[in-house]
Copies of this chain bind each other. A is one copy, B any other.
Amino acid sequence: MKQLNVGMIGGGFMGKAHALAYAGMPMFFWPAPAVPHRHTIVDVTEELAKNAAMKLGFDHYETDWRKVVNDPEIDVIDIVTPNHTHAEIAIAAAKAGKHIICEKPLALGAEQAKEMLDAVNEAGVKHMVAFNYRRTPAVALAKKYIEEGRIGKILSFRGTYLQDWSADPESPLSWRFQKKIAGSGALGDIGTHVVDFARYLVGEITDVNAVTKTWIPERPVQTGGTDSLGNVKGGADVPKSPVDVDDEFITMVKFDQGAIGTIEATRNAWGRNNYLTFEIHGEKGSLAFNYERRDELQVCFSDDPGDAKGFRTVYTGPNHPYGEGLWPIPALGIGYGETKIIETYDFFKSITEDTVVSPNFHDGYKIEAIADAILQSAENSQWVTVAKELSEVK
């Protein structure tokens, strides 16, 4: 059984999720395309790195990511660091001939993403951007219905991503609220997942028209190095610092195939935890999905008999995409880990079979271009056409 050595840059929450995927992927998809071997992990201090290696099951640890990127034993570089570091690491990894999986959003903006895309194209390595939610089996099932024409031509798309972990003004100023590190706020952090859904399920977005809001203009400075996602409060005596990214955005979108839609994301929606949803209306049916109840896809077919028409609640399982590899019956339970396991499976398959996997850096770049257009639209209060040449970028 072929084995691929992984060098992981970063050891936080996303590192945990990826490490679980490396361990679990062959258990679910066997024979695996290749067995991921957790070779080396990088974190910012030796103590953190050593601890992460033990915790996440890596053989080695390192504090200098350049060493790992250039280590000839490493086949795959996995980038799970804050957004502002993605480009430098990815470009170096591409130059070193490594296959790359990079956490989302790909970059701080389209320009930087383009450099990354050029680098992987030039190097001829495999590349993936980790918009994992589209690998929820229920989302893949929606894609299957659409591709098979079972809901007809799509007329409209509504997507939301609502959270509340930072709705409290005392929630600390993590890197996710700093433009120089995160690029943007709710837009890049969570909104891009909805943009990924929209492109995956409906098609290319051509025009956007948006509003952004920063509801909490300053937050307590974060103490400690970890990304506490709102679970640690600042306290009254902690100095505050400005937030320079969006807490919320809404946008209208137009698709090249004629559909229209809205996309919204906020981290100020009390009671919504990970409310990543879409609703799609087609000429022959409708789809609805809510990640908070991710085992389920809602589908309505217009040609059902008149006295038995309505949304079906389909729990994904062996009869649905990726079902053979997952659990033996529906509703045993798809968790966050499974989305990452499937992502890893598809990425490794693209390496061993030399095929193109989606979403890749090309997708990541286009999503950055759309995100840039959303910010530009909000600033100018008008429709912005996503550059036509995008479709010509390879």
Residue A275, interface by CB 8 Å: yes
Collect the chain B residues with CB atoms within 8 Å of residue A269's CB.
Answer: 156, 279, 281, 286
Enumerate A334-365 residues with CB–CB distance to B below 8 Å: 334-339
Assembly CA distance A183 to B173 (angstroms): 50
Q: Which residues of B contact A320 (CB under 8 A)?
A: 307
Q: Knowing A250-B261, A270-B284 are in contact, say whether A315-B310 is a contact too (CB < 8 A).
A: yes
Residues 271 to 328 of chain A near chain B (Cβ within 8 Å)? 271-275, 279, 281-286, 288, 291-296, 298-302, 304, 306-315, 317-320, 327-328
A44 at the interface (CB under 8 A from B): no
B333 in contact with A334 (CB, 8 Å): yes
Q: Are B248 and A156 neighbours in the complex by a CB distance under 8 Å?
A: yes
Whether A311 pairs with B312 at a CB distance below 8 angstroms is yes
A302 touches B167 (CB 8 A): yes
A391 in contact (CB, < 8 A): no
Tell me the nearest residue of chain B to A305, going by C-beta: B319
Interface of A is mostly: mixed
CA distance A332 to B334 in the complex (A): 10
- With a cutoff of 8 Å between Cβ atoms, the chain B residues found around residue A248 in the complex are 155-156, 260
A side interface size, CB within 8 A: 109
Contact B307 A310 (CB under 8 A): no
A252 at the interface (CB under 8 A from B): yes
A66: CB under 8 A from chain B? no
The docked-state distance in angstroms from the alpha carbon of A70 to that of B296 is 45
Smallest Cβ distance from A118 to chain B, in angstroms?
Answer: 33
Chain B's closest residue to A381 (CB) is B383
Q: What separation, in Å, do the CA atoms of A324 and B393 have in the docked complex?
A: 44
1/0 contact string of A1-38 vs chain B (CB within 8 Å): 10000000000010010011001101110111001000
Closest B residue to A309 using CB positions? B314
9-residue interface stretch from A74-82, A119-127, A207-215 = A207-215
Q: Given A310-B312, A312-B311, verify A23-B24 contact (CB < 8 Å).
A: yes
The answer to whether A264 has its CB under 8 Å from any CB of chain B is: yes
Closest Cβ of chain B to A301, distance in Å, is: 8
- Given A23-B20, A333-B336, A270–B250 Cβ distance below 8 Å? no
Q: Are B318 and A231 in contact (CB under 8 A)?
A: yes
Stretch at the interface among A54-62, A102-110, A197-205, A234-242: A54-62
